[in-house]
Amino acid sequence: MEAEDSLREAERRLQAAQLAGDTAELDRLLDDRLIFTGGPDGGTYSKADDLANHRSRRQAMTRVDEEELTVLVAGDAGVTWFLGTLEGTFDGVPFAARLRYTRTWLRDGVGDWRIVAAHASPAAG
C-alpha cells in the first residue's frame, strides 16, 4: 500500500473510532505525546483528555461527515487536512459544526500511523 493510501486509511479509521466512541482504536491511533489545540475555548488537550472524554461519553459523536481530505507524506511523517461536519454532544449539550482539522502523524517502527499534533478551527458554512 502506498504511504498516502495508508495515511488516508488511518485518518478514516480515526473518524470511525470517534463516531463509535471506540477508545481502544483511538488509543492505537493517538500518540502518547499528542497535543490537540481547539475546542470552543481554544485550549490544549492530551491523549488522556481525549480518551477520558470518549470513555465517559462526556463527548459523544453522532455524525462525522468528511467533505474533503488532503494527505501529504514525507518519510515517516504525514499531515492530513480534513474538512467536514461533526455533530454530537459535549457535557450533554448538543453541538453541530463544520470544521477544518490539521493533523500531524508519525509512523512508528512497525509502520502504523499515530497522531502527535492536531488543530481544529471552524470552517465557513
CA gap 64, 48 in Å, rounded = 22
Total domain count, the chain = 1
Q: For residue 48, give the CATH number of its domain.
A: 3.10.450.50
Mean per-residue pLDDT pooled into runs of 10, the chain (125 residues)? 94 97 97 90 90 94 97 97 96 94 94 96 88
Domain containing 32: what range?
3-122
**Residue in this structure with the C-alpha cell 488543530, named with its chain if needed:** 119
Cell output for 79: 499531515
Q: Give pLDDT, residue 40.
A: 63
Instruction: Give pTM, 2 decimals.
Output: 0.93
Q: Give pLDDT, residue 38.
A: 87
Element of type H or E holding 96: strand 93-107
